[in-house]
Amino acid sequence: MSVTSLHHSPSLARFTSLAVLTVGLLVGMSPLATAADTAPGTISVSGHGTQQATADKVTLSTTVHAEEPTAREALEAHGAAVKALISAAKAQGLTLQDIITEDLWLQPVYSNDGDDSRISGYEASQPISLNVWNITKAAQVIEAIMESADNAVRLDGLEFDLKNHAPLLKRARAEAFQDARTKAEQYAELSGHTLGDILTVNDYTEIGSRTGNLPTETYAGKSTVTLTPHKITDKVTADISYKLK
């Protein structure tokens, strides 16, 4: 009878099978859900490190320019001024590798005569950067190049930096790592756990430099240039994930 009854009631049989399967899945899943709920998990923190050092390098940004009635004369005057600047820089111990020339610009100079505008001359100009590796000689180099070609050299600014950032960044990383670990240990303790192994580490660096703008007239004639040493700041942020135990 039971066989016949089952044979003639397929919908009931399917319902019974689904019910058994559902109960089985729930029973099988319950231990996994309990384990996930009680697992210690992970913790992610950010640590920060900041280190400073006194600048030991300065880059001078200059522009050499010349204005003359004709384009040829402007180029010739400009070329003479560049040669004078390079000679003065080399006399202060710089090499050709320390002197970086950029694009040379030649453009007409216009003057207005009533409603008319006409070309009155030509101006040649060129940016030139100079790397001074002995920062104690930077003031002497500035004076020398500014006096090398009368008013043809303009000092646009200077940038203080380090010859090598590696030691500073190394100390900043160590500080950032210790900062992250201290935070992680505290949060682990507050949550009733202890700190486990490191899972991931990502760091971000911020390499610093200091810039300054100095007016050309400061270095005219035989004036004395005084440069105050600047501090360079490098920063590291470390994002670290730990296991919790």
What domain range is 29 assigned to?
Answer: 2-38
Read off the CATH number of the domain in which 148 is found: 3.30.70.2970
Name the DSSP class of 70.
S
Residue with tokens 């709920």: 37
Domain end position, chosen among 112, 128, 161:
161
| Largest interatomic CA distance in the chain | 122
Highest mean pLDDT among 110-114, 150-154, 189-193, 220-224: 189-193
Angle (nearest 5°) at CA 215 between 134 and 145: 45
Do residues 44 and 64 share a domain?
A: no
Answer yes or no: is pLDDT of 15 > 50.
no
**Residue 135: what pLDDT?**
87
Do residues 89 and 153 share a domain?
A: yes
- Other CB atoms within a 10 A radius of the CB of residue 13 amount to 13
Answer yes or no: is pLDDT of 217 > 50.
no
d(CA 107, CA 125) in angstroms, rounded, equals 9
Do residues 195 and 220 share a domain?
A: yes
CB-based contacts of 92-97 (< 8 A; 24+ apart in sequence): 92/137, 92/140, 92/141, 92/144, 93/134, 93/137, 94/130, 94/131, 94/132, 94/141
pLDDT tens string 114-145: 677 888 999 999 999 999 999 888 989 999 99
Strands 195-206, 116-132: pairing kind: unpaired
Do residues 89 and 107 share a domain?
A: yes
Answer yes or no: is pLDDT of 219 > 90.
no
Do residues 187 and 243 share a domain?
A: yes
Do residues 157 and 107 share a domain?
A: yes
Domain end position, chosen among 138, 161, 184:
161
pLDDT tens string 167-198: 999 999 999 999 999 999 999 999 999 999 99
Name the DSSP class of 226.
-
**Residue 90: what pLDDT?**
96
CA distances from 216 to 52, 95, 115, 206, 219 (A): 30, 24, 35, 31, 6
Domain count, the chain: 3
Distance of CA 189 to the CA centre of its chain: 36
Domain end position, chosen among 96, 129, 161:
161
- Other CB atoms within a 10 A radius of the CB of residue 129 amount to 16
